[in-house]
Structure 1
Amino acid sequence: MISKCKKYFTFFGILAATADTKMHSFFSMIESIITKNIPKITRLLLSKVLKPIKLYSTNNI
């Protein structure tokens, strides 16, 4: 009985599949950028040493 029933692609189904594919590629692009750049950013931030702007205003301990 099921084989006799014809299935057609609907406009909404094609639109939803296209939007899903585009969103998946966009999110995977963002994920790859984040995974490549986060270690660089953390290394850069850890390598920086915070120094006061006015050295004469700090207490020498």
Structure 2
Amino acid sequence: VPFVTLYNGGWDHHRTIFQDLKTKLPPIEATLAALIQDLAARQMLERTLVVCLGEFGRTPKINSR
């Protein structure tokens, strides 16, 4: 498979960002870890680019909201 896209919505957090990320991040981390482990086991990791990104396009800093 040359290209795979996964979507995970609901990332627009404001006042409760730190509390919300405690439940949002672990599944993402587990998914990425499983992908990397699987690619390594199949000897595909060295020739695979894994990119995790968002579409928001702002500076990654906490704002006043």
TM-score (ref. length: structure 1): 0.39
More helix by share: 1
Return the index of the structure with the highest Cα Rg: 1
TM-score (ref. length: structure 2): 0.37
